[in-house]
Structures are given as C-alpha cells and as structure tokens.
Amino acid sequence: MGHIMASATPPDQVSAASQHTVHVWHDDQETVITVPHGEILRRALLQANITPYGSVSKQVNCGGRGVCATCGVRFMKGEPAPVNWHDKLAARYGYPRLSCQITVTQDITIRIITDKIMWGQRDEAARYQSEQTG
Ligand code: FES
C-alpha cells in the first residue's frame, strides 16, 4: 500500500480536519491519498500519478469539463450524490462516476477501472440509489 499526499499545500499548513483519505484500488493494489477538503477527485488522482482514464482516453479527453465521460471510477465506499447532469446520468444508469465531477468532502474508497478502453461497463448493481439523482 502506498500513501501519497495529493496537495500543493505543505502538510504542516493543512489541518487534519481539512483533509480526507482516498483509498484507491487499482490492479489489486491499494494506494492511499490524502487530499484537501473540496479537491476534485480527478485532479487528486492525476497528482498522485494515478490515471482514471483508459489507454485511448488518456490521450483524448475533455480535460475535466464533465462531457467526455472517460474519467469514470467505481465507488466502493462514500459515494457522493451526483450534481453534474452527465454524472447524474452515469450514476442513475450504473456507469462509472465521473471523477472530474466529484468533489472530495469525506473519506472515500474507489476502484480504478483498469480494463476500460473508453467509458467503462454499465453495472446495474452499481447504480446510485438516491432521490437526489433526479
Ligand atoms: S474528463 Fe471528461 S468527463 Fe471527466
């Protein structure tokens, strides 16, 4: 298990209450990232040298604008309600959640999809169950 600080702020200037722990599972390996409250998940992953993209979308994506749907990750724990229209659709229909549209506000555990080429597979069981999906 590796532990990475995904923050531009020096650790001694960030209080413990303003940070969250992100457990990232990829290739049967766990990396633990400490991120500041309010950080965008995609940015935290990329800062930790963990890509949410597949082999093709790593080169061609929307850069975090929430329109290409290639930055999807699976939540194992702490899944937040979707707010972006595209992420709401992903959550409702069981597609991976868009990491560029996830603001980290609590400790979470996610899984990187390592076998996706572009978007990732739909998974009915992974549908976000909430009234908030609209
Ligand atoms: S990077 Fe395009 S939707 Fe997230």
**Residue 124 within a domain:** yes
Q: For residue 25, what are the contacts with CB-CB under 8 A and spacing of at least 6?
A: 76, 109, 110, 111, 112
Could you give phi then psi for residue 77, rounded to 5 degrees? -160, 140
Whole-number Å distance between alpha carbons of 35 and 58: 22
pLDDT of residue 30: 97
- Is residue 98 lining ligand 1, measured as CB closer than 6 Å? yes
Q: What is the pLDDT of residue 113?
A: 92
Q: For residue 108, tell me if it sits in a domain.
A: yes
- Beta carbon of 57 within 6 Å of any ligand 1 atom: no
Q: Ligand 1 mean position to 62 CA, how many Å?
A: 5
Instruction: Tell me the per-residue pLDDT of 88-123, one tens digit each, with 9 for 90 and over.
Output: 998 999 999 999 999 999 999 999 998 776 667 778
Q: Round to whole Å and give the CA distance between 64 and 70.
A: 10
Task: State whether the beta carbon of 71 lies less than 6 angstroms from ligand 1.
Answer: yes
Q: What integer pLDDT is reported at residue 7 of this predicted model?
A: 55
**Residue 55 lies inside a defined structural domain of this protein:** yes
Indicate whether 102 belongs to any domain.
yes
Task: Note the pTM of the prediction, 2 decimals.
Answer: 0.81
Number of structural domains (the chain) is 1
Rounding to the nearest 10 degrees, give the CA dihedral for residues 40, 46, 51, 57: 80
> Which CATH number covers residue 64?
3.10.20.30
Q: Report yes or no on 66 lying in a domain.
A: yes
Instruction: Tell me the residue range of the domain where 77 lies.
Output: 2-129
13 Cα–ligand 1 center, Å: 30
Instruction: Tell me if 82 is assigned to some domain.
Output: yes
Give a yes or no: residue 134 inside a domain: no
pLDDT in tens, 25-41: 998 999 999 999 999 99
- Smallest CA separation from ligand 1 atom 1, residue: 64
Is any atom of ligand 1 closer than 6 Å to the C-beta of 36?
no
Question: Does a structural domain hold residue 76?
Answer: yes
Tens digits of per-residue pLDDT, 1-57? 667 766 545 555 555 559 999 999 998 999 999 999 999 999 999 999 999 998 878
